[in-house]
Structure 1
Amino acid sequence: MTSTATLYTDEDMSALVATLLKARGLDITTVPEQGAIGKTDSEQLEFASGVGRCILTHNRVDFERLHLQYIVEGKEHGGIIIVPQKNAYEVARRVGILVHTLTASEIKNQLLYA
C-alpha cells in the first residue's frame, strides 16, 4: 500500500491552489490555516517537517538553500516541491501529477520541481 504525501502551502502560494488540490482529494493545509503568516521560510519548513508534510512553494532560491542546509545538518523534511509561478490551475495540475506519481516516502527529503 502506498501513501500519498500530505501538503503544506508556503505563504506565497495562492489559496486557490490549495482549494483545487483539496478538490482532487489531497490532504493539504496552508500557512493562514496554521496561523503561520509572517514566519520565515526556515520556520515554515521546520513546521512542515515536524508534522510530516511536504511544502509547496514558488520560492526556489530560499528553499534550495534550506534543502542543502538540511542535508549538511543531517535533518529530515517531508519534501519540498518548487513550482514556477503560473496560474493556480496549472500549479494544481503539476502538483497533482507529481503527488499522484510518487509516494510520500519517495518525496520525503527530496527537492522536486513541478
Structure 2
Amino acid sequence: MSKSTPILAMVAAFAAASAQASTDPDELARRAERRVAVNEQLRAVQVELYCDHQDSAIHLIRDARRQLLAHRDADSVQDVRQLDKASWQVRHGDTVAAIATLEATRREA
C-alpha cells in the first residue's frame, strides 16, 4: 500500500460528495416550492396557537410533518424533528416554547 492511497481515497470521497450535492435545477425549484408551502403551514400553526386553538395546531403540525416526510431530504429530517418537538410542547401546554420552535424552524429555510 502506498502513502498516497489515503489521499486518493479522500479525493474520491470528495468527488463523490460533490457529484451527489449537485442536483437537477428542476429538483431545486420543486424543493424550494415545497419549503414555501411548509413555511406557510407552519405560519398557520403559529396563528392557531396565538388564538389558543391547540387541537387545530396539532392537526396542522401533522399535515406539515406529512408533507416533509413525503419528500424526504436532508433538510426535512431536521424539520420533522423540530415539528415533533413543537407538537410535544403543544400537548404539554407550553405554547410559548412551541411558537418559538416553529419560528426557528421557519427561519432555517
TM-score (norm 1): 0.27
Determine which structure has the larger helix proportion and give its number. 2
Determine which structure has the larger strand proportion and give its number. 1
